[in-house]
Amino acid sequence: MPSPEQRVLIPRERIAARVEALAGEVAAAWAGKPGDPEITLVPVMTGAFIFAADLIRHLPQKMRIHLIQVRSYPGTATTSQGVTLDPAKTNVPLDLTGRHVLVIDDILDSGRTMAAIKAELLERGAAEVSTCVLLRKPNQCRDAEAGTLEVDHVAFDIPDAFVVGYGLDHDDHHRNLPDIEVLLADGAPARADAAAVRVPPAGEPR
């Protein structure tokens, strides 16, 4: 069994530094928009709650925050089982006419979750829906049903592995881990390939 240090894919110090830098990228992108529009932030529950809380404390813009909940990894599943939006567990207004929205999610895997949320928010009248994710699995973003799987802001590109910690879970456990760690499909600890983690350069096509 790997040691605790060997299970860590991204340590807490690196996460904190990158989230602060990513907030700077988001703020700079918003600063260039005409009229200095207010941001409507939509964190995706429950996985993105820690990431979103840390990110927004570095954003200077005027904002509103509305939560949305979806389910794509039910129970102990380690691959997406499709996306279900839960209207009973969201406070996103039905009318978003003219709003500039930033969706904040924990991980872009197949891309189905983000595509479904973006389509729903545009249907509610949002003028623009930008996207921000903590983690992206580039080799998994190939889902034909999701269409174009572009995301505006990415903290880290990671290898194809099931990850937990910093809000991400396995069967609702491990969200409280301060580092991002790797699990096997059965939930057992795994050795992480930390060298494979990449920070996408600012301005790189995503």
Quick check: 74 pLDDT over 60? no
> In Å, what is the CA distance from 186 to each residue of 14, 75, 119, 183, 189?
27, 12, 33, 8, 9
Residue 204 lies in a domain: no
Active site residue 109: yes
pLDDT at 105: 97
**206 part of a folded domain:** no
Give the range of the structural domain holding residue 27, as residue numbers without chain letter: 4-196
- The confidence score (pLDDT) of residue 78 equals 47
pTM (predicted TM-score)? 0.87
Q: Are the C-beta atoms of residues 135 and 180 closer than 8 Å to each other?
A: yes
Using the predicted structure, report yes or no on whether residue 84 has a pLDDT greater than 80: no
Cβ contacts of residue 68 below 8 Å, gap of 6+?
42, 43, 44, 45, 85, 90, 92, 103, 117
Q: Is residue 70 part of a domain?
A: yes
Which one from 54, 105, 109, 179 is the annotated catalytic residue? 109
Name the domain count of the chain.
Answer: 1
Nearby residues of 117 by Cβ (< 8 Å), 6 or more positions away: 42, 44, 68, 70, 85, 103, 105
Instruction: Find tokens 């999701």 and name the residue.
Output: 146
Residue 58 has pLDDT above 80, yes or no: yes
Which residues lie below 8 Å from residue 101, measured CB to CB, with a gap of 6+? Answer: 39, 40, 41, 42, 121, 126, 128, 129, 130
pLDDT of residue 144: 44
Q: pLDDT (tens digit, 9 = 90+) per residue, 138-154?
A: 876 655 454 556 899 99
pLDDT value, residue 163? 95
Domain-located, residue 24: yes
> In CATH, what number is assigned to the domain containing residue 24?
3.40.50.2020
Residue 106 in any domain: the answer is yes
User: Residue 32: is its pLDDT beyond 80?
Assistant: no
- Whether cis (ω within 30° of 0) applies to the bond prior to 148 is no
The encoded tokens of residue 83 equal 């996306």
Classify residue 193 by its DSSP letter: -
For residue 158, being part of any structural domain is answered with yes
| Predicted pLDDT at 4 | 79
Q: Domain for residue 36, yes or no? A: yes
Residue 35, both tokens: 């009229």
Does residue 174 fall inside a structural domain?
yes
Is the pLDDT assigned to residue 174 strictly greater than 60?
A: yes
Tokens linked to 149: 């799987």
Segment 34-58 shows an average pLDDT of: 92
Tens digits of residue pLDDT in 109-136 = 888 889 889 998 999 999 999 999 999 9
